[in-house]
């Protein structure tokens, strides 16, 4: 009888522990509920956290990845993602002209910083002394810099066609369109990030930019865009999983596996051009990579059954779950109306990232410039209609 009583007590205790973990996940993810619902006060607090970094001298010295190239990429990505975050807020909260004007000012500061010489330095070094902006019109695509820059510039122009950065946007898009329509890129539908290195994800930023550019200017690159998106679908998605191949060689043959980080980031960027393709990629991630335990969600970097180590794209991979991939997937869950997945992933992101709000601004304790900017853009990502407008 005593054993039965003890077993029953143990069962009740285990149930209580399970419920406590679920409750902890719910409590830790509290800011996520407001972010998912698009609550202006919470979103604006995180925007103000990013304002701090925008006003700071964020450059390579801020990071310590161990690689000057990656440090430069992260400093660049901080402002590039900030532009997307501010833009998404402008689209979804257009009512207060003063606030919108402030966010446009922030976009201007970011874009000005993105084209500064020191922001371009990482790409110039990788291209052995060829500066990406001086190289507009050349045969060098510089996708590691120009792909991401094109998306920020095109989004800005989409939001305000009379943008002071419109002329540069036109030059960058024209450069990449010309290269996509010539040489090897006509066949493989991709351009080099750095010499000899091709990453589909870096090209997808340009696909999003091209769609935004056409909507902003009335130009028509639909034939090119359709070809590029079809090539991405048919050639660079893994047949078995639907995930995107992380890296290919100069002939478009896979040299890396289908992975979560590239797929999740690509699904977010391609949503600016094609929501259906974004939904399809998210479906593959849902089917192959997303998991949850006690209310804490996480996303694998490699499909189940495949192992691999982490790198700069995935962040640390712990028991198969990847830090960055989990963060990127937040954007997709929000864009595609998947509240449960968003909340469980946000619980994990908040457990490790620790959002903390001061008097006004909110930061992620473990975020730093890149983490704050990424989470800002990803948690404000929006669903788009056929015309690319936020729904």
Partner 1 sequence: MSTRREEAKKKKPKRLVRRAVGGAVMCLIMFGLAELFGGWALDIDASAALLSPSQGLSEEAILAALGFLGCRILSLLMFVQWVGWVVYHLALELPKRLSAIR
Interface with partner 1 by CB under 8 A: which residues? Answer: 5-6, 8-10, 12-14, 16-17, 20-21, 24, 62-66, 70, 312, 315-316, 323-324, 351-354, 356, 363-371
- In 3-state terms, the chain is what percent helix, strand and coil (to 5)? 60, 10, 30
Name the DSSP letter for residue 366.
Answer: T
Shortest distance, position 380 Cβ to partner 1, whole Å:
20
Q: List, in order, residues 6 or more apart from 243 with CB less than 8 Å away.
A: 237, 258, 259, 260, 262, 263, 281, 284, 285, 288, 289, 303
What string of DSSP letters covers 8-74?
HHHHHHHHHHHHHHHHHHHHHTHHHHHHHHT-HHHHHHHHHHHHHHHHS--SGGG--SS-HHHHHHH
Nearer to partner 1, 51 or 192 (CB): 51
Shortest distance, position 218 Cβ to partner 1, whole Å:
41
Report d(CA 103, CA 108) in Å as an integer.
Answer: 9
Shortest distance, position 164 Cβ to partner 1, whole Å:
31
Shortest distance, position 241 Cβ to partner 1, whole Å:
26
Give whole-number Cα distances, 255 to 250, 251, 310, 381, in Å: 10, 11, 16, 31
Shortest distance, position 242 Cβ to partner 1, whole Å:
28
Nearer to partner 1, 278 or 344 (CB): 344
Nearer to partner 1, 160 or 356 (CB): 356
Report d(CA 72, CA 58) in Å as an integer.
Answer: 10
Nearer to partner 1, 303 or 367 (CB): 367
Report d(CA 43, CA 379) in Å as an integer.
Answer: 8
Shortest distance, position 360 Cβ to partner 1, whole Å:
15
Residue 79, token pair as written in the block: 């402002």
Shortest distance, position 67 Cβ to partner 1, whole Å:
8
Residue 219, token pair as written in the block: 């130009």
Nearer to partner 1, 172 or 374 (CB): 374
Nearer to partner 1, 55 or 365 (CB): 365
Q: What does the CA dihedral 157, 160, 164, 168 come to, rounded to 10 degrees?
A: 10
Nearer to partner 1, 73 or 156 (CB): 73
């Amino acid at each position: 009888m005593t054993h039965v009583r003890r077993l029953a007590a143990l069962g009740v205790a285990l149930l209580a522990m399970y419920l406590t973990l679920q409750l902890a996940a719910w409590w830790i993810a509290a800011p996520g509920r407001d972010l998912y619902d698009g609550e202006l006060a919470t979103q604006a607090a995180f925007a103000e956290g990013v304002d701090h970094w925008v006003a700071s001298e964020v450059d390579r010295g801020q990071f310590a990845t161990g690689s000057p190239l990656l440090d430069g990429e992260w400093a660049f990505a901080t402002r590039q993602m900030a532009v997307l975050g501010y833009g998404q807020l402008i689209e979804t909260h257009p009512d207060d002209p003063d606030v919108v004007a402030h966010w446009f000012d922030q976009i201007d500061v970011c874009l000005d910083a993105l084209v500064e010489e020191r922001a371009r330095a990482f790409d110039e070094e990788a291209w052995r002394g060829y500066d990406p902006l001086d190289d507009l019109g050349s045969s060098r695509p510089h996708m590691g810099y120009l792909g991401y820059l094109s998306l920020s510039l095109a989004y800005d122009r989409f939001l305000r066609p009379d943008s002071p950065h419109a002329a540069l946007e036109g030059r960058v898009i024209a450069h990449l369109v010309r290269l996509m329509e010539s040489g090897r890129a006509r066949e493989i539908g991709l351009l080099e990030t750095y010499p000899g290195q091709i990453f589909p994800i870096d090209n997808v930023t340009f696909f999003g930019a091209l769609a935004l550019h056409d909507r902003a200017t009335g130009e028509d690159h639909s034939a090119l865009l359709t070809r590029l998106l079809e090539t991405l679908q048919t050639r660079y998605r893994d047949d078995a999983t639907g995930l995107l191949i992380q890296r290919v060689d100069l002939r478009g043959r896979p040299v890396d596996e289908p992975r979560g980080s590239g797929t999740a980031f690509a699904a977010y960027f391609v949503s600016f051009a094609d929501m259906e393709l974004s939904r399809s990629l998210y479906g593959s991630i849902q089917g192959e990579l997303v998991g949850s335990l006690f209310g804490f969600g996480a996303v694998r970097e490699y499909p189940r059954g495949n192992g691999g180590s982490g790198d700069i794209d995935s962040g640390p991979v712990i028991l198969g779950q990847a830090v960055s991939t989990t963060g990127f997937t937040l954007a997709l869950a929000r864009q595609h109306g998947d509240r449960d997945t968003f909340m469980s992933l946000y619980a994990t992101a908040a457990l490790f990232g620790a959002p903390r709000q001061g008097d006004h601004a909110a930061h992620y304790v473990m975020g730093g410039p890149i983490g704050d900017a990424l989470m800002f853009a990803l948690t404000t990502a929006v669903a788009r209609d056929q015309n690319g407008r936020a729904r």
